[in-house]
Amino acid sequence: MRPADLSILFTWEERKPLLHEGMLCVPRNYDKHEKFDIPFSEIFENDNPICIEFCSGNGEWIARAATLYPEYNWIGVEKKFTRTRQIWSKKHNLGLKNLLPVCGMAEDFCSHYLKETRIEKAYVNFPDPWPKNSHAKNRIIQAPFIEMLTKVSKPGTTLTLVTDHQKYSEQMMKVMNSNERWQSDEDCILPEDYGTSYFNRLWLDLGKSIHYMKFSLQEVS
């Protein structure tokens, strides 16, 4: 199956949450997300714990993770349709029943679709850095997103953040440190078997350093 085998699923006017051939489309600027009520246990056909990667790009990292760790269900959330269908193509070509590509905004998915789910692990690998100061407000790692993520996490849930961008890594640390529920694993180093991605290789080839941060959710004190 090639990514191009999947055509755009609905027009802007007809947009609605739609599960199609193993991919979930989450419309933007939409106020009826609650219309989608298929539980994850039905989508994955099991109750295995859920891991999520936000900003998955072409899905290289998450497809490998889903292959290596079949005991988890994996959800890859990517806002661009052309990239999400690359994840969809990998899912079908590799026979990954435990991978759900989601085309939509991470914020929408997190606040409307996870509902009662308590995720096991969350990852954000190389989120868009928005390097200009005036654009930094568009970065995904900000307090409101972390609050949404906290609501769908449980004590012990981990959040891994990876970036090549020094200033963004400092902002990530600041945002996470300002939320007392998340504790930083100060000594963490990038595990050898972490996996790679298009942007990971791109930045390494340019000689950039990679910042790897890991946090875990604490019990309410």
Ligand X SMILES: C[S@@+](CC[C@H](N)C(=O)[O-])C[C@H]1O[C@@H](n2cnc3c(N)ncnc32)[C@H](O)[C@@H]1O
Active site residues: 128
122 lies in the site for ligand X, by CB under 6 A:
no
d(C-alpha 56, C-alpha 75), whole Å: 9
For residue 218, what are the β-bridge partners? none
Closer residue to ligand X in complex, CB, 26/176: 26
Helix (H) or strand (E) holding 122: strand 119-125
d(C-alpha 128, C-alpha 58), whole Å: 14
The residue sitting closest to ligand X, measured at its beta carbon, is: 57
Q: Which of 44, 83, 101, 182 binds ligand X (CB under 6 A)?
A: 83
200 lies in the site for ligand X, by CB under 6 A:
yes
Backbone CA torsion sign across 124, 127, 129, 135: negative
Residue 6: CB atoms within 10 A of its CB come to 21
111 lies in the site for ligand X, by CB under 6 A:
no
Stretch binding ligand X (CB under 6 A), from 6-14, 119-127, 147-155, 166-174: 119-127
Phi-psi label, residue 164: left if phi above 0, alpha if psi -120 to 50, beta otherwise: alpha
55 lies in the site for ligand X, by CB under 6 A:
yes
112 lies in the site for ligand X, by CB under 6 A:
no
Q: Which of 113, 197, 214, 215 binds ligand X (CB under 6 A)?
A: 197
Q: 55 with 140: CB under 8 angstroms?
A: yes
Closer residue to ligand X in complex, CB, 33/183: 33
Helices (H), 50-153: 60-68, 81-94, 106-112, 143-151
77 lies in the site for ligand X, by CB under 6 A:
yes
What is the DSSP code (8-state) at residue 158? Answer: E
- Helix, coil or strand: residue 100: strand
Contact code string over 123-162 relative to ligand X, x by CB under 6 A: --xxxx-----------x----------------------
105 lies in the site for ligand X, by CB under 6 A:
yes
Give least dist CB 77 to ligand X, A. 5
Catalog residues that contact ligand X under the rule CB under 6 A.
Answer: 54-57, 77-80, 83, 105-107, 125-128, 140, 197-200
